Chains A and B, each alone.
Chain A
Amino acid sequence: MILALLRRDLGQFFPFTGSGAALPVVFFVAVAMLFPFAVGPDANLMLKTGGGVVWIAALLAAILPLEKLVARDIALGFFDQLRLRGVTEEAMMAVRLVAHWLSFGPPLLLATFPAAALLKIEGETFDILLLGLLAGTPGLAAIGLMIAALTASLRAGAALSGLLLIPLALPILIFGAGALARQDPASLGFVGAISLGLVAIAPFAAGAAIRATREQ
């Protein structure tokens, strides 16, 4: 049952199969492409700031899919029907977290290659950037899922979720981008730890939020 659910969720969110789900990745590359135009093609400056730009682009790209992540299936009665079949909200949200990350994490990592080329990020800096995104995107996905579930029943939920995600994502950004500035992969351990903690609590927080929407 869990596998069937994961397949269905992936079908909903995966780029090119789902409805317009490739947008975050396109957005991500577009930001990386615009940055050199905005600040000028100074290779030194680019090497210093490019990594940070990629991080900010990743963070903003993580906001885009939130609107559809949970609210749509609440309106469909999808979670209600699963509940009647004995699936707990926590399990539904754990599956959704995996599907959400798979649909935006790996595509974003792939898009980092062209983005890094555009920003002239090379060598060890690139390795730290890629590793950092690998460690950080699960955390971003977890924050996104919690926010999407909490704001699902609000009318302006989509706009609000963007505003809520940014401060909560700050620790990931600080350690992830900080590792680039200091050329120190060790602080990526913090990114991974924060991500793990968020991934662990997200299904429970989001599941409770889904249950709460029924009581309205």
Chain B
Amino acid sequence: MQAPSPFLSADNLACRRGERLLFRKLSLRLEAGAACHVTGANGAGKTTLIRALAGLTTPYAGSVTREGALALLGERTGLDPDLPLARALAFWFALDGVADSAAMMARLRLQALAEVPVRYLSTGQQKRAALARVLGQNAPVWLLDEPLSGLDTASQGLVSELVRTHCAGGGIALIASHQPLDVPGMTSFAIEDFAPADAEEEA
């Protein structure tokens, strides 16, 4: 039996942070193979959108529907800071049924860091480690929050390549970033386009 085709869709979504309405009337639908780039200034609501799409928070209005498992790359890595990187990743790899964890780490050029405790890794290295975790999850839907921040040029190219491969294989990727990504056919929107007008906010 074939698994149903993955999709991610948001209908008339509105989210608040504290008392402030960040965006409203945001609808999107991503089908298999689609990549979408969300741009916006700091604090415009990119992370809030991602967490709402992930189902971690309840949106103020509207709804999110999704088919297929979901992998999230956020500002938090989910890796135990006291453990060596290989062991911290091994926990998630074991949950996600990754057979060849060494190959997974090699794809993100992490082999040399295997024995280094996670808390000693730099921002960029931690980001790469979190990407390895996302990759190991083998989920059709990727939500990546600022995947490029803290990465050097070579690693930024690597992220673009991972997203290209993922989407070419029928995966869905939604990427929130203020930096450009090199992914052909990627759609893009600015979250500010959905910000409420001032008059609306008063009401």
Contact = CB atoms under 8 A, between A and B. Distances in A.
Interface of A: 1, 4, 8, 12, 19, 75-78, 80-81, 83-85, 214-215
Contacts of B81: 76
Interface stretch (B19-27, B68-76, B100-108, B183-191): B68-76
A80 B78 contact: yes
Nearest to A75: B76
B82 interface: yes
23 contacts: A1-B95, A4-B91, A4-B95, A8-B80, A12-B80, A75-B76, A76-B77, A77-B74, A77-B75, A77-B76, A78-B78, A80-B54, A80-B56, A80-B72, A80-B74, A81-B72, A83-B56, A84-B55, A84-B56, A84-B69, A84-B72, A85-B137, A215-B57
A214 B76 CA distance: 13
B28 interface: no
Contacts of A12: 80
A8 B51 CA distance: 25
B78 A19 contact: no
A147 B93 CA distance: 31
Nearest to A19: B82
B95 A85 contact: yes
Given A12-B80, A81-B72, A84-B54, 8 more contacts: A8-B91, A76-B77, A76-B81, A80-B54, A80-B76, A83-B55, A84-B71, A85-B69
The majority secondary structure among interface residues of chain B is loop
A76 B79 contact: yes
Given A77-B77, A78-B78, A215 B70 contact: no
Most central of B55, B71, B74, B91 by chain A CB within 10 Å: B91
B80 A76 contact: yes
Interface residues of B, number: 26
Interface of B: 51, 54-58, 69-72, 74-82, 91-92, 94-96, 133, 137
A8 B87 CA distance: 10
The 7 closest A-B pairs by CB, nearest first: A77-B76, A81-B78, A77-B78, A78-B78, A214-B56, A214-B57, A8-B91
B117 to A, nearest CB: 11
A116 B94 CA distance: 43
Contacts of B76: 75-77, 80
A77 B78 CA distance: 5
The majority secondary structure among interface residues of chain A is helix
B78 A76 contact: yes
Contacts of A77: 74-78
Contacts of A4: 91, 94-95
Nearest to A216: B18
A80 B57 CA distance: 10
A1 B97 CA distance: 10
Contacts of B57: 214-215
A17 to B, nearest CB: 11
B149 to A, nearest CB: 16
Nearest to B58: A215
Contact of A81 (B55, B75, B92, B94): B92
B15 to A, nearest CB: 11
A78 B82 CA distance: 14
Contacts of B69: 84-85
B57 to A, nearest CB: 5
A140 to B, nearest CB: 26
Given A4-B94, A4-B95, A214-B51, A84 B80 contact: no
Contacts of A83: 55-56
Contacts of A80: 54, 56, 72, 74, 76, 78
